[in-house]
Structure 1
Amino acid sequence: MEKTAKHKIILFVTSESGPYRASGGLADVAEALPVAFKKKNVHMVRVMPKYKGIEEKYELKKLHEFIVEITNRPMVAAVYEHELDGIKTYFIGNAPFFERDNLYGYEDDSLRFGFFCKAVIEMLISIGLKPDIIHANDWQTALIGLFLKQEYSSLDFYRNMKMVFTIHNLQYQGVFERDVLKKLNISEKYFNSEAVEYYGKICMMKAGIVYSNAVTTVSQKYAREIQTPEFGYGLDGLLRKYSNKIHGIINGIYYDKYNPEDDAALKYPFTVKNYKKERERQKAAFRKEIGLAESNQPLMGVVTRLAEQKGIDLILAAIKKLAKEDIQFVILGSGEKYYEAALKEMEKQYPHQVAVITEFNPAVARQIYGSVDMFLMPSLFEPCGLSQMYSLRYGAVPIVRNTGGLSDTIIGYEEDPKTATGFRFNNYFSNDFIEAIRRAMECFKDKKVWNEIIQRGMETRFSWDGSAEEYLALYRDILENKNN
């Protein structure tokens, strides 16, 4: 593929990307994947909305303006470009839609991202960019394939473009009222169960699944899980229908960026060779910094979005049970106010055992990865997950639920003590989670066994190079018509 891919152009369409604007894991993928492809001499460019604040921080070059028609009126779309570290990013500008404080959560999100999808397509002919593959991500970009089919497939410029669609989290589907079709100038013929109709409404995620040449998601197990009623969120039947074009490709992490050897966030940096001494010093310093008492008991860490999906109910139950036994917890996360309040109440009740930080800070996140003994991820479901990979890199032993990407990245001590990199539990019950913590605590007492688990984790690699190779193989198959 690499020989032919050098002459191909991949357009990565995303609603967010680091370092420009980010709210979650999609931004990490959008930032990292083009870099991995550049190392392989493959030409991938990004396109995203020009959100508030980007132009003030980065010197953008304005290329062109054109008209996009939605809601039966013409709207101006402006195209900008910026190059950073050899990667080109295009931005779609429209002040009423994108010059806002937040990325998502507005009543007109259907129109904002419908406009974005159509503007991306119009941008291509406007600036003369002709990608061989358009790689769209999540519901915000899912209408591109439908628009191509409805309005552009008969034009020579667009005729041979292929579509890849990645599901980062199936729970967020872009479900809106039926009248959005008319507002976005989408024909009523697409309002059927084989297209975008979804229980009397429209589902943008369905468009991405139906009108793409291949569908990927961010771990092999999650690719299987979403085809079941438990994890399919009403789309499992559709996904089973298209199972032959669904692929699971695990995300990677930046090992240069996340490196405990030279991380400025750590007071005592360490390597796999000296972590036994330096990591203990780091843990002691961090404990003092966040106001926890000195202790010989293990320190548990959590870095997460505070939402039901992330298993916060199980974490609360574990704190309630184990803080009485002088086990300590540090939690960094923001999100649902109910969970923030419940965690703050735990901190108030156990001030020497529990520290809660509800303002996210990436440096504090890396301090947690580099200081805690055990890292907790009891997710209800987890498409991929990156925090468990960061924790391995920084010598924290993950305790995870056996689901999605957590299953694909963590080898449980329960399955194979000699290759284990963490601990796993199956059922989404607090007792099962607490039992997994207790199993880890037993191993913690045996320093030889514990250090073997830590070392295997620190030496494990989930690089973007490997992920990029899998995407390249998929692109090759699509271009050779094997998936069409």
Structure 2
Amino acid sequence: MKKVLFVASEVVPFIKTGGLADVVGSLPKYINKDKFDVRVMLPKYMAIPEEYKEKMKFRTSFYIDLAWRKQYVGVMETVYDGVTFYFIDNEYYFAGPTPYGNIYEDIEKFAFFCKASLSSLPSLDFRPDIIHCHDWQTGLLPIYIKDVFMQNPFYHGIKTIMTIHNLKFQGIWDMKKVKDITGLSSYYFAPDKLEAYGDANYLKGGLVYADKITTVSETYAEEIKTPFYGENLDGLINARSNSLVGILNGLDYEEYDPATDKLIIKNYNKANFRREKSKNKVALQAELGLKKDEKVFMIGIVSRLTSQKGFDLIDYMIEQICQEDTQLVVLGTGEEKYEHLFRHYEWKYSDRVSANIYYSNERSHRIYAACDAFLMPSLFEPCGLSQLMSLRYGTVPIVRETGGLKDTVIPYNEYEGTGTGFSFCNYNAHEMMNTINYAKNVYYHHKREWNRLVDRGMSCDFSWNSSAKKYEELYNSL
């Protein structure tokens, strides 16, 4: 049986700020338990809810050297949904209300986390064949394992995989400081290793030293080889392209299922959505104080409000989007200018725009269930989970053809009667607007075609099952 250890900075249900947590929390459940023993390691943040902390058992504690300092490491363990989770405990690093803080603090925090994770393995009676690292927070791990840990035969032959969830975040900080924090020798701070443009770059180090690199969709794996999407690492990614695989994220189909979802007003499925789905719309309209009308075209947006997600296109076209025959429901927080934009339009058109500038899991489920279309005009999107949720809930996605959006949404073709959503190619506000208008036209004037679109979307299978098989193949290939 192959043993695999996931190491990540956030994992559902314990702590979450983004899609990374969903992936690391869901994927281990779907990997074949007869052939793989998959366990997960993450920091024991103070911010983890008490209900989970109460169930943790103490496993071991010891001290490690982090450069010139001695630091305490505690290891706690819990089993959740049949998966074993280990928590690295150190109050100095993992206190505070959120998993991340100032980057200079995070740089030291995750250097500690990488070293502590590796150091704890011999005392856990678990020697992984493969350590699967996620994003820059674990970028030092593949370096450490080939450096200080090589003297210990326990670590010989352990392979590493580095998964890029979003190349924009790389863990970059001053080289001298990083050298001091990590205790790594000058040998590692060369341009072909950790150094990038004069600074130290954690993600780059991980990409250089990992045995395999994966990212979260096939298109994104191609895109990041180009300067536009490559975030200054396209040269390295091209150099390592023979070790790079794109594997699409899945969606947890147990949590996101309109037939059984307890958070929505009216459950429905592929067979009865024509009758039942709109009841969620009317309920949401009542809840948000919008004009009650089950026939009006309702567009949903659930997102971080950042420029990566294409909000400057929406900003440019918002007056046209908020036409009288359309309702717009937004949920999320982010850059102030976009928060104010939606608040302003809610004030201006209170009967047809609802701006929910906060995050609520319950409300997000209700928006997926209630809306007719879901807008996602991203500048780049490594994988994206919102469009997968939309398809699952029979809400037709309107997306830009980039990254995972291109891989998961098939554009509607009225001549062949195919497709599961609407898409546009260029990062252009008018192109987006034309696509929204085209979708609206189909919704109002070709209702049977629209329902077939919904039907095909709800028939898609983007559960973890197929993605898990690809990861299994990858683990076996090492």
TM over 0.5: yes
Tell me the distance in 1 between the aligned counterparts of 2:376 and 2:35.
Answer: 36
Could you tell me the TM-score, scaled by structure 1's length? 0.95
Do 1:414 and 1:424's aligned partners in 2 also have CA atoms closer than 8 Å?
no
Q: Hey, what does 1:257 align to over in structure 2?
A: 255
1:245 aligns with one of 243, 246, 252: 243
Q: Hey, what does 1:90 align to over in structure 2?
A: 86
Q: Hey, what does 2:477 align to over in structure 1?
A: 477
Tell me the distance in 1 between the aligned counterparts of 2:274 and 2:85.
Answer: 43
- CA shift for structure 1 position 294: 3.0
- CA shift for structure 1 position 448: 1.1
Q: Hey, what does 2:393 align to over in structure 1?
A: 394
Q: Hey, what does 1:352 align to over in structure 2?
A: 351
Q: Hey, what does 2:21 align to over in structure 1?
A: 27
Do 2:47 and 2:96's aligned partners in 1 also have CA atoms closer than 8 Å?
no
Do 1:319 and 1:329's aligned partners in 2 also have CA atoms closer than 8 Å?
no
* Alpha-carbon distance change, 54 to 330 in structure 1, aligned in 2, over 3 angstroms: same
Tell me the distance in 1 between the aligned counterparts of 2:97 and 2:361.
Answer: 20
Tell me the distance in 2 between the aligned counterparts of 1:305 and 1:41.
Answer: 38
Do 2:47 and 2:98's aligned partners in 1 also have CA atoms closer than 8 Å?
no
Q: Hey, what does 1:133 align to over in structure 2?
A: 130
Could you tell me the TM-score, scaled by structure 2's length? 0.96
2:283 aligns with one of 282, 285, 289: 285
Do 2:284 and 2:366's aligned partners in 1 also have CA atoms closer than 8 Å?
yes
- CA shift for structure 1 position 317: 2.9
- CA shift for structure 1 position 354: 0.7
* Alpha-carbon distance change, 417 to 399 in structure 1, aligned in 2, over 3 angstroms: farther
- CA shift for structure 1 position 71: 4.4
The correspondence of residues 79-478 of structure 1 with structure 2, limited to 5 A, is 79-106=75-102, 107-179=104-176, 180-295=178-293, 296-414=295-413, 417-444=416-443, 445-478=445-478
* Alpha-carbon distance change, 40 to 431 in structure 1, aligned in 2, over 3 angstroms: farther
Tell me the distance in 2 between the aligned counterparts of 1:158 and 1:282.
Answer: 54
Tell me the distance in 2 between the aligned counterparts of 1:55 and 1:408.
Answer: 35
DSSP-derived class of the 1:26 partner = helix
Tell me the distance in 2 between the aligned counterparts of 1:230 and 1:390.
Answer: 28
Do 1:395 and 1:454's aligned partners in 2 also have CA atoms closer than 8 Å?
yes
Do 2:61 and 2:75's aligned partners in 1 also have CA atoms closer than 8 Å?
yes
Do 1:375 and 1:397's aligned partners in 2 also have CA atoms closer than 8 Å?
yes
Report the AA paired with residue 207 of structure 1: G
Report the AA paired with residue 418 of structure 1: G
Q: Deviations over 1:69-120 (max 9, x none)?
A: 2241101011110011211000000001002111113231100000000001
- CA shift for structure 1 position 300: 0.3
Report the AA paired with residue 260 of structure 1: P
DSSP-derived class of the 1:306 partner = coil
Do 2:6 and 2:38's aligned partners in 1 also have CA atoms closer than 8 Å?
yes
Report the AA paired with residue 11 of structure 2: S
DSSP-derived class of the 2:170 partner = coil
Do 1:139 and 1:172's aligned partners in 2 also have CA atoms closer than 8 Å?
yes
Report the AA paired with residue 113 of structure 2: F
DSSP-derived class of the 2:245 partner = strand
- CA shift for structure 1 position 146: 0.5
- CA shift for structure 1 position 315: 2.3
Seq. identity, %: 41
Do 1:38 and 1:44's aligned partners in 2 also have CA atoms closer than 8 Å?
no
Tell me the distance in 1 between the aligned counterparts of 2:434 and 2:416.
Answer: 17
Tell me the distance in 2 between the aligned counterparts of 1:414 and 1:94.
Answer: 55
Report the AA paired with residue 128 of structure 1: D
Asked if 1:56 is matched to 2:53, the reply is no
Tell me the distance in 2 between the aligned counterparts of 1:361 and 1:415.
Answer: 36
Asked if 1:68 is matched to 2:64, the reply is yes
Tell me the distance in 2 between the aligned counterparts of 1:299 and 1:417.
Answer: 26
Do 2:411 and 2:419's aligned partners in 1 also have CA atoms closer than 8 Å?
yes
DSSP-derived class of the 2:304 partner = strand
Report the AA paired with residue 121 of structure 1: L
Report the AA paired with residue 349 of structure 1: K
* Alpha-carbon distance change, 416 to 337 in structure 1, aligned in 2, over 3 angstroms: farther
Tell me the distance in 1 between the aligned counterparts of 2:110 and 2:212.
Answer: 21
- CA shift for structure 1 position 297: 3.0
Residue ranges of structure 1 left out of the alignment (5+ in a row): 1-6, 479-484
Do 1:376 and 1:398's aligned partners in 2 also have CA atoms closer than 8 Å?
yes
Do 1:77 and 1:94's aligned partners in 2 also have CA atoms closer than 8 Å?
yes
Do 1:164 and 1:214's aligned partners in 2 also have CA atoms closer than 8 Å?
yes
Tell me the distance in 2 between the aligned counterparts of 1:168 and 1:16.
Answer: 12
Equivalent pairs, count = 472
Q: Hey, what does 2:9 align to over in structure 1?
A: 15
Do 1:219 and 1:383's aligned partners in 2 also have CA atoms closer than 8 Å?
yes
DSSP-derived class of the 2:191 partner = coil
Do 1:421 and 1:456's aligned partners in 2 also have CA atoms closer than 8 Å?
yes
- Which piece of structure 1 moves more, 261-270 or 136-145? 261-270
Q: Hey, what does 1:481 align to over in structure 2?
A: none
Tell me the distance in 1 between the aligned counterparts of 2:474 and 2:190.
Answer: 29
